[in-house]
Amino acid sequence: MSLTVQLITDNLARVRERIAEAATSVNRDPGEIQLIGVSKYVGVAETAALLAAGCIDLGESRPQQLWEKAEAQELASARWHLVGHLQRNKVRRTLPVVELIHSVDSWRLLKAIDQCAEELGLTACVLLEVNCTGENAKHGLSADELRRLLPSLPELKHVSARGLMTMAALKGGLAVAENNFAALRELRDESLGECPLGVHLPELSMGMSQDFEAAIRAGATMVRVGSCLFDGVAP
């Protein structure tokens, strides 16, 4: 086993241990937390090492990088997640290769996804991105925009909304991050009564390398971890 493969295997084991510890600290089952290994920091070889170590769900922030890696034979068994911003002109090429789009942030994008999904004969699984920090630099729906959007979801016959996603504030540390994550969970819970029949939003995608334990304590069902998994691996 090469040094790079060993490093990635060991890093994955440590991240899984930290996920388990964070979950059990709040009496949650670690099996409820899905790890998305974000591979935007590395190439195909390093990503393949992570996949071989047992991290099947892989995430990319940029559609072009996702397309390239999804075509790599070494990564054929991966389940791909788009965790970054998606433009409407990149929807058609993205849909056939992704398990889940975490970052849907507008009704216009939802409509574009629905139309392309219909033409491709598939159902697109998505999360609705919410801006819980109010930062202008971040994409995402406001809480009010989300509430207004929910009743219209059944109009989309080829889109399945599975939950919500957010990112923590850039400043403020773990205390602020945990408040951001708690705000998403509370918004989801409050919105359940407003969801139309068939819309449940069970998933909460929140938390990255610097704050995924806080996200788990706040209720995350998916964490998007990148740099921790490739610590010590040369770029």
pLDDT in tens, 159-201: 999 999 999 988 888 999 999 999 999 999 999 888 888 888 9
Average pLDDT over residues 58-76: 97
pLDDT tens digit string along 32-49? 999 999 999 899 999 999
Cβ–Cβ contacts within 10 Å for residue 190, how many?
11
Q: Assess contact for 223 and 16: CB atoms under 8 A.
A: no
Domain boundary assignment for the chain:
3-230
Reply yes or no on domain 3-230 having CATH 3.90.550.10.
no
Both structure tokens of 35:
């790890």
pTM (2 decimals)? 0.95
Q: Give residue-wise pLDDT tens across range 142-152.
A: 999 999 999 99
Give the model's pLDDT for residue 233: 86
Question: Measuring CA to CA, which residue among 58, 46, 56 is closest to residue 8?
Answer: 46
- Residue 132 CA to residue 129 CA, distance in Å, equals 9
Please tell me the distance from the alpha carbon of residue 191 to that of residue 212, in angstroms, as a whole number.
24
Is there a contact between 17 and 205 (Cβ–Cβ < 8 Å)? no
Per DSSP, the three-state class of 125 is strand
Q: What is the pLDDT of residue 235?
A: 64
Do 195 and 201 contact (CB within 8 A), yes or no?
yes
Per-residue pLDDT band for 53 (boundaries 50, 70, 90) equals very high
Distance CA 153, CA 195 (A): 9
What is the residue-averaged pLDDT of the chain?
95
